[in-house]
Amino acid sequence: MTDTLLDIVDRLTIEHPYRANIEGRPRWVRRDPLIMLLREAIASTLTGGNGLAASTSKVPFDTDALEQYDTLEALILTELHKISDKVPHLTPEQNLRTWYTAFMVTADETDIDRWSDMWGEWETRIEAKITAPIVLELINSTTKQPYPCPECGFDWFEKILNSGPTGKGGRWYDKEKRVTLTATYRPDGQGGLEKSAVECGCCGWRATGSAGVRSFAWDMEQTDVSAEP
């Protein structure tokens, strides 16, 4: 079933049904407007459990989320002013709904298709921003061993989680053994291979985008073939 322009505007501007994965099971829940979630993502790295900004935090706010939000807010205001002389509301969610009401009075099928694509692209962009990517450790399914990094050659590395003085002139380290190569990817509807990457946690080597990930996968397939008896 194809989404209508109103379906897209609704998801951007009002609470809506969302199919979430909860404890390994897909369930329908209610989710806040996507534009609101994008606005909240701007300062999400600065807030603690009480929702207040941590005054001692040195982590900057999410500049990418801020840039996207400012661009979207300006676009909505620009398009609203083209077709309506109403005083804008305080939030882009309200302004987009006002735009939709005025737009549909004179819109033809071509206009509706064009703006369905436009707002649909923004929906996809926000979804990609607020949805955490899937991260997988790259382990050979036959040997059950991690694939080695093509750059540094390591298959395992130790990640330092914490450290401190021992009081005897040295330092103690809290370490964790991890698989060197991980793949970070998003579903096709949220960028697919173009937003995917393979990364080495040891040396920092990366393969990104469709071409880089496909080339890495092909190299791994050749490694598996050559290792067969």
Q: pLDDT for 124-140, tens place per residue?
A: 899 888 887 778 888 88
Mean residue pLDDT of the chain comes to: 83
Joined together, the tokens standing for residue 96 give: 């987009």
CB of 118 closer than 8 Å to CB of 110? no
Q: How far apart are CA 185 and CA 153, in angstroms?
A: 23
- Residue 125, beta-bridge partner list: none
pLDDT at 225: 53
Coil, helix or strand at residue 160: strand
The CA-atom distances, in angstroms, between 211 and each of 116, 127, 146, 159, 214 are: 29, 23, 22, 29, 5
- The two beta strands, 206-208 and 171-179, are unpaired
pLDDT at 40 over 70: yes
Coil, helix or strand at residue 141: coil
Cβ within 8 Å of residue 133, ≥6 positions away: 184, 185, 186, 195
If one counts every other C-beta atom within 10 angstroms of the C-beta of residue 158, the result is 12
Query: 37-62 burial string, b = 16+ CB within 10 Å, else e?
Result: bbbebbeeebeeeeeeeeeeeeeebb
Strands (DSSP E) found in 51-170: 134-137, 156-165
Of 36 and 49, which is predicted with more confidence?
36
pLDDT at 152: 93
Cα distance from N-terminal residue to C-terminal residue, the chain: 49
Query: Which whole number is the average pLDDT over 86-98?
Result: 94
Q: pLDDT for 220-229, tens place per residue?
A: 777 665 555 5
